[in-house]
Amino acid sequence: MKKVVVITGGSRGIGAATSKLLAAKGFAVCVNYKSNKAQAESVVNDICDRGGKAFPFQADVSIESDVIALFEAVKNTYGSVTHLVNNAGILFQQASISKISVERFNKILTTNITSCFLCCREALKYMNEGAAIVNVSSAASRSGSPFEYIDYAASKGAIDTLTKGLSIEVASMGIRVNGVRPGFIYTDMHADGGEANRVDRLSPQIPLQRGGTPDEVANAILWLLSDEASYVTGSFIDLAGGK
Ligand code: NAP
């Protein structure tokens, strides 16, 4: 089966590591990004330099028309999408509930969960038996992230629920839907929360005593997308060092 994957937010952090790993394993990769074109092109160039296939595509995946254009572009470039990684996500400055505006709450929801719904719906128009989706949730869906970002945690809880329900809706079509729940991974995202060294601060509280790497998450995503996980659907891999 020809493998064509869309990785939302594939230009930085976990998405960039996943783009490079999947390309090395023979996937043709659409590296989606929202704003940072240079970073997306850098990931694509790295893949192409190693003999892989990739192209960058700008789309704000919280916007329906952008998502429709994204999957049409993939179809025109590599043929129908066969695999999808819903990875794009954001968080804002750490704050307790009284400091969270409705505008912020809604921005988090549209970027983190409406995007996931839209990409799943559009991808499924092209997918057939053997296709697979991985949604990137978070350990925050279990902890609730009190005093940091309950808006973000709530959006990730919604991803878990969408993953479970959709996995059952499409199971009879031979399409699998799973999730990963990373926690404490070294990426730029923590700076957006106002604490760039958050992972190091929390490391003593993590059973494995360290933060994780984007490559460690990418390996779990690769496995869930692969035929080796052919009997796995509606499942989650926690990547939070035992937390
Ligand atoms: P990151 O380094 O901040 O990268 C975020 C990526 O998402 C960038 O490529 C960004 O593109 C893209 N993006 C943001 N908004 C977008 C939108 N509306 N449309 C399309 N792309 C968009 O983040 P990360 O730490 O790798 O996180 C990746 C995923 O893992 C997220 O879903 C996050 O919630 C989850 N996660 C991360 C951790 C962690 O510890 N890092 C823990 C648990 C879960 P631009 O640069 O172009 O804006």
Instruction: List residues with catalytic annotation.
Output: 152
Residue 1 confidence (pLDDT) above 90: no
Q: Which atom of ligand 1 is nearest to the CA of 14?
A: 26
**Residue 49, C-beta contacts closer than 8 angstroms, at least 6 positions apart:** none
| Ligand 1: centre distance to CA 39 (Å) | 13
Q: What is the pLDDT of residues 36-81, one digit of tens each?
A: 999 999 999 999 999 999 999 999 999 999 999 999 999 999 999 9
Ligand 1: which residue has its CA nearest to atom 10? Answer: 9
Q: Give one DSSP letter per residue of 162-211, joined into a string.
A: HHHHHHHHHHTTT-EEEEEEE-SB-STHHHHTT-TTHHHHHGGGSTTSS-
Q: What is the pLDDT of residues 8-48, one digit of tens each?
A: 999 999 999 999 999 999 999 999 999 999 999 999 999 99
Q: Which atom of ligand 1 is nearest to the CA of 111?
A: 18
Cβ of 89 below 6 Å from ligand 1 = yes
- Going by the DSSP 8-state scheme, the letter that residue 12 receives in this structure is S
Q: Which atom of ligand 1 is nearest to the CA of 188?
A: 2
Ligand 1: which residue has its CA nearest to atom 33? Answer: 89
Contact 182, 139 (CB under 8 A): yes
Q: What is the pLDDT of residues 109-133, one digit of tens each?
A: 999 999 999 999 999 999 999 999 9
**Whole-Å CA distances, 23 to 39, 118, 215:** 17, 24, 13
Q: Is the pTM of this model over 0.85?
A: yes
At 64, which helix (H) or strand (E)?
Answer: helix 64-78
Cβ of 35 below 6 Å from ligand 1 = yes
Mean pLDDT, the chain, rounded, equals 98
Residue 154 confidence (pLDDT) above 90: yes
Cβ of 138 below 6 Å from ligand 1 = yes
Q: Which atom of ligand 1 is nearest to the CA of 182?
A: 43
Ligand 1: which residue has its CA nearest to atom 6? Answer: 9
Q: Domain 4-237 is classified in which CATH homologous superfamily?
A: NAD(P)-binding Rossmann-like Domain (3.40.50.720)
| Ligand 1: centre distance to CA 172 (Å) | 31
Cβ of 161 below 6 Å from ligand 1 = no
Q: Mapping DSSP to helix (H, G, I), strand (E, B) and coil, where does residue 146 land?
A: coil
**Residue that is written with structure tokens 């730029």 in the block:** 188
Dist. CA 171–CA 41, nearest whole Å? 35
